[in-house]
Amino acid sequence: MEKLIEILTSKHVMTASAAILAPVAGALIMGIDRKLTARMQGRLGPPLLQPFYDLFKLFGKEPIALHRPQIMYAVLHLVFMILVLILLMAGQDLLMILLVHAFSSICLILGAMSVRSPYSWLGSQRKILQILAYEPILLVLILAINLRDNSFLASKVMENTQPLLISMPLLFLAFVCVLAIELSKSPFDVATSHHAHQEIVKGLTLEYSGPFLGILEIAHFYEIAIFFGLIMCFWHTNIWIALLLESAVFVFLLVVDNAFSRLSAGWMVRYMWTVPLTLALANLIWLWS
């Protein structure tokens, strides 16, 4: 029995389990998101398992692609996103993880730009502006972690007995803005979104269909799970406080999403480079001093 427990709690088994369960968790979060958003708008909303139904339906359709590179970029987008999760679970270098996540986003952009659709090109340009808006904040967050733990390794964060939120409250607020962009929440939903009140034509993934769109959906499930997992890392010393923190951020983003309309991509970059980035840099200076 002790040998079995040791095997089940080994790092490799936990990493493999996370790789399998992460998209399931991401799909459930998306289902709760749609349901609560609908209730806030006075609608019944789709079933909680609607993301799973949509995914099964996509993989049941005939595979059609306008351009062969589309398929390659979709697969690479998913592969790099899974690699981000594996590297995080293995406690690897955060700078390398940030770079791999950027590669995943670039593959999504290249897939959208590999066709001639003007809507697809517009969506890819908006996605580039999103990356330009949030990447500096993630970089400052990693630099702050290095200042605190004297290491870029993700494993050092979990070994520290002090929660990140205690030493990085301003960076946490900036990270919430990053999460709003990643989840396509108003006022930052300028690339693509599942909600009817935000986007009629989903520019970035407009020319994907069937199983290839399903691959992108799975990658999105992974990304949702990864970023919500990062929220829990801000209070990794107590799982219940971490879950409460995650739930509070989730509800806050839903309220903001339904209270604000979408603004321009240029406004998004200007805002992220002023308020959240200023908060992040102030927190970095505080740690430095």
Structural domain spans, the chain:
2-288
pLDDT value at residue 201: 52
- pLDDT averaged per 10 residues in sequence order, the chain, 289 residues: 47 75 91 88 86 91 79 93 92 92 93 83 86 94 92 88 91 93 80 51 74 91 92 91 93 87 82 93 89
Burial 190-225 (b: 16+ CB within 10 A, else e): bbbbbbebbbeebbbbbbbbbbbbbbbbbbbbbbbb
* Phi and psi torsions of 42, nearest 5°: 80, 20
pLDDT value at residue 179: 92
Residue 164 C-beta-side C-alpha neighbours within 13 Å: 28
pLDDT value at residue 274: 93
pLDDT value at residue 190: 66
Burial 143-182 (b: 16+ CB within 10 A, else e): bbbbebbeebbbebbeeeeebbbebbebbbebbbbbbbbb
Model-wide pTM > 0.85: yes
pLDDT value at residue 69: 83
Determine the Cα–Cα distance for residues 85 and 81; give it in Å rounded to an integer. Answer: 7
pLDDT value at residue 248: 94
Nearest Cα neighbor of 192 from 207, 200, 204 is: 204
pLDDT value at residue 7: 42
pLDDT value at residue 113: 87
CB atoms within 10 A of CB 64: 10
Torsional sign, CA 223, 225, 231, 234:
negative
pLDDT value at residue 103: 94
